[in-house]
Amino acid sequence: MATPSDRTEIIAELREVFDRVTDGRLDVSRIGEDAHVINDLGLSSLELLELRFELESVWNVVPDDDQVRRLQTVRDVIELIAARAA
């Protein structure tokens, strides 16, 4: 189980990831854990591919297609990273 400080670190890093993935389009300081990655953050299919790219390069997390399909909210992404990092 990820400690609260691990989680804080993951969230901070994830904000920078969303900034890179959307090339500055999103105001990442305002992204909440409940935000839906597609419906709220407006990530396109290519930006979702970029998110997978970042998950691998930053945290060495390589979800399969099934796990990616289940990623709905920002919280889901944090939990995925925390579980692999633990």
Q: Which residues contact 37 (CB under 8 A, 6 or more apart)?
A: 43, 48, 51, 71, 72, 73, 74, 76, 77
Q: How far is CA 21 from the centre of its chain?
A: 10
Q: Choose the stretch contacting another protein; rule: CB under 8 A; options: 4-12, 21-29, 61-69, 70-78.
A: 21-29
Site for another protein in 28-57 (CB under 8 A): 46-47, 49-50, 53, 57
Asked whether position 6 contacts another protein by CB under 8 A, the answer is no
User: Which positions touch another protein (CB under 8 A)?
Assistant: 22-27, 46-47, 49-50, 53, 57
